[in-house]
Amino acid sequence: MKWLELWIAIAVMVLASSGGDVLTSSAMKRIGDLDELRARRGIFAVIGAVFSEKHFLLALACFTIGFFSLLTALSWGDLSLVAPASASLTFIVSAVMAKFFLKERVDHRRWISAVLVCVGVVLLAM
Amino acid sequence: MNVRKYLVLLAVMCFGSIGDALLSRGMKQLGPVNLHHWQEIIRPIGNPWILIGILCLTVFFASYLTALSFADLSYVLPATAFGYVLVTLIAKFLFHENVSLLRWLGVLLISCGVGWVTRGPALTEHPREAPAAMQKEQHEVA
């Protein structure tokens, strides 16, 4: 039953990293352009602003879960399965989450890109 | 979008895929993780490949945060996939690995997807919800 554990690890990784991406994006949008902030007030102001965003800290928790499920999945299955499976699914799941949670305008252009990239990543693994 | 912002996207592409490759190399060296011994999950952190991998991923993460501060998630993510294309090109022309026709097709699809998304607007405009600090940025992107 190793394959079931493997796919659960991949699913946990995809959900955790997509959730983390959405939380990170929302935190960064609240801060505004980091490069501009750094130019005005220095790198420490940027680090301070980033680490005092609650959404960013939640995102870090998600990424930590995602990171260790990736390590776990990699030790159970081949990189040639784990990497494309988790990467390609993340593109689709993140696009869906960005639309519903971040209210991004995911138009035809972005759906087509997400699907092209998803299929391309799978092909790269063959 | 200006040259500096495209450079940030480029850093996201390069460091992400290099970091992942280093991590996978390190984990393969260490062998399977045994979930019955939870302490073992900390062990990989002593491995030099894993350490350099984590360093690369740290640079990746800083660039990724910067990219997300000026562009949408559904814009940045496909763009980051271009890292896979770079890895394939490095494998072919630097390490002279064999790259199959299907992989070249994958490279083509990802390149099309990335080229397609980067020609669209980088940021969704939320006129009423956007914080005051971001108004200037949105005009620039638009």
Domain ranges across chain A: 2-124
Chain A residue with minimal CA distance to B17? Answer: A83
Mean pLDDT taken over chain B: 79
Q: Could you tell me which residues come within 8 angstroms of residue B21 by beta carbon, excluding any fewer than 6 positions away?
A: B53, B87
- pLDDT at res. B106: 92
CA distance A63 to A72: 14
Residue B77 distance to chain A (closest CA, Å): 7
**Residue holding tokens 């940045």?**
B76
The tally of CA atoms less than 13 A away on the side-chain side of residue A125 is: 16
Q: Is B72's CB within 8 Å of A74's CB?
A: no
Q: Which residue of B33, B72, B131 is in closest CB contact with A72?
A: B33
Interface-testing mutation among A74, A81, A96, A103, with chain B (most B C-beta atoms within 10 A)? A74
Over residues B100-114, mean pLDDT: 91
Report helix, strand or coil for A41: helix
The pair of structure tokens assigned to B39 is 């302490």
The pair of structure tokens assigned to A12 is 């946990």
ipTM surpassing 0.95, yes or no?
Answer: no
Indicate the burial class of A52 (C-beta count within 10 angstroms; 0-12, 13-18, 19 or more): exposed
Closest CA to B76 of A36, A25, A50: A25
pLDDT tens per residue across all 126 residues of chain A: 578 888 999 999 999 999 999 999 999 999 988 888 888 988 899 999 999 999 999 999 999 999 888 888 888 887 777 877 888 898 889 999 999 999 888 888 889 988 999 999 888 877
Sign of CA dihedral B102, B103, B106, B112: negative
CA distance A93 to B72: 15
Q: Is A32's CB within 8 Å of B133's CB?
A: yes
Q: Is B74's CB within 8 Å of A29's CB?
A: no
CA distances from B136 to B12, B124, B131, B133, B141 (A): 24, 14, 10, 7, 9
Long-range contacts, B126-131 (Cβ 8 Å, 24+): B126/A103, B129/A103, B131/A30, B131/A32
Q: Could you tell me if A97 and A22 are in contact, meaning their C-beta atoms sit under 8 angstroms apart?
A: yes
Residue A95 distance to chain B (closest CA, Å): 5
Each residue's pLDDT tens digit, B49-98:
889 989 998 999 899 999 999 999 988 888 788 888 887 887 788 777 78
CA distance A19 to B90: 31
Chain A residue with minimal CA distance to B31? Answer: A75
The pair of structure tokens assigned to B65 is 């945060």
The pTM of the full predicted model, rounded to 2 decimals, is 0.76
